[in-house]
Structure 1
Amino acid sequence: MGKTEFVIEPGRQDLVTVRTFDAPREAVFRAMTDPGLIPRWWGPAKYEVRVEEGDIRTGGAWRFLTSGEDGEFNFHGVYHEVSAPDRIVQTFEFEGAPGHVCLETVELEDLGGSTRYRAVSVFQSVEDRDAMVASGMEEGSDEGLERLEELASEIARGA
């Protein structure tokens, strides 16, 4: 169902990602918060993902290790709020650029069988946001969200 829309306005520190999933909100939330399922959708498919830490609750922390032909890229953060089934607030930091942390708020809106995903990522500076965009983030995020939609649909079907 979904095509990912990225709103990247010049001179701003934020990036907005919107997508509508053909899956119920509870299934999307479960796929996003079950550490055993995260490697099936997180990031580009060309990388293997391992959840080293997945304490997905308010006050918890996460660390995902990704590896592929072009190296290893690790990410971590903390959960400021995890409210089932509609809201996650977390930090996101690429360990290859320590100190450049963004705050991401994901809201899942129930559309009666489908779900609107809206993530607002606020970076510490316009330069940090622009560097993330230049890194190919849109392509990787879109690919991960496509796989998230497939997984959430599978969960909804009870597969």
Structure 2
Amino acid sequence: MTVTTPTDREIVLTRAFDAPAGLLFDALTRPDLLRRWFGAQGWQLVDCRLDLRVGGAWRFVSRGPGGAEMAHGGLYQLIEPSRRLVYTERYDDQSYPGDTLIAHRLVERAGLTTLTTTIRYATPEGRDRVLRYPMRRGVAEGYGRLDDLLAELTETRRPSDDTQPNARTERKSS
């Protein structure tokens, strides 16, 4: 994963996943899949509600070491399945002003999908505060769990050799 700071209010994360864009989009938008990968090591998504439509709300609550809880949510701004997902985000305990805007862009080439996430904070101070936290480590750990999930889901979608048509059985007899 690469992390860049192109402006004083943005963080850009870029990471390739060995999965089709549609499957990666599902992992970003389906509660049953999000619960299986979202968050840093030691954290579990215990509440995951999505109203996946423009203007719809989302809310996540994660539980971590010692029972600590972290909650955040926002509103969907743009939804283009398998291509783009844009939403606002605000943590319940957020002490800096304004919402953060998260924009995911998915680009698939030959089954490999690059996810570029641009995080735009309301202020430079908000971005700088996040950069002081172990954000990179936490996201990388979550993406590692996402890799495992995508590999599992990709494997279950592949037909086994036993289900491939046999040319002899498919040929019409004359």
Give your verdict on TM over 0.5. Answer: yes
Partner of 1:120: 118
Partner of 1:148: 146
Partner of 2:170: none
- Consecutive aligned runs of 4 or more in structure 1 exceeding 3 Å deviation: none
Asked if 1:158 corresponds to 2:171, the answer is no
Percent identity, aligned pairs only, is: 28
Q: Which amino acid aligns with 2:25?
A: F
Coordinate RMSD, CA, aligned: 1.6
**Per residue, is there more strand in 1 or in 2?**
1
Deviation, 1:13, is: 0.4
Within 5 Å, which residues of 2 pair with 1:1-159?
A: 4-9=1-6, 12-70=8-66, 71-97=68-94, 99-158=97-156
Relative to 1, partners in 2 of residues 1:100 and 1:137: Cα closer, same or farther, differing over 3 Å?
farther
- Between structure 1 and structure 2, the one with the greater Rg is 2
- Write out per-residue CA displacement over residues 87-107 of structure 1, whole angstroms, 9 at most, x where no aligned residue: 100111111115442101100
Give the Cα–Cα distance (whole angstroms) in 2 for the partners of residues 100 and 131 of structure 1. 14
Is the 2:31–2:48 contact (alpha carbons within 8 Å) kept by the matching residues of 1?
no
- Write out per-residue CA displacement over residues 44-67 of structure 1, whole angstroms, 9 at most, x where no aligned residue: 120121234211222211111011
**Per residue, is there more helix in 1 or in 2?**
2
Give the Cα–Cα distance (whole angstroms) in 1 for the partners of residues 4 and 124 of structure 2. 14
Q: 1 or 2 for the larger relative contact order (CA 8 Å, sep ≥6)?
A: 1
Relative to 1, partners in 2 of residues 1:120 and 1:110: Cα closer, same or farther, differing over 3 Å?
same
Corresponding residue pairs, total: 155
- Write out per-residue CA displacement over residues 13-65 of structure 1, whole angstroms, 9 at most, x where no aligned residue: 00000001111111111111111111111111201212342112222111110
Unaligned runs of 5+ in 1: none
Normalised by the length of structure 1, the TM-score is 0.90
Q: Which amino acid aligns with 1:17?
A: L
Is the 1:28–1:149 contact (alpha carbons within 8 Å) kept by the matching residues of 2?
no
- Structure 1 residue matching 2:142: 3-state secondary structure: helix
Q: Which amino acid aligns with 1:6?
A: V
- Structure 2 residue matching 1:36: 3-state secondary structure: helix
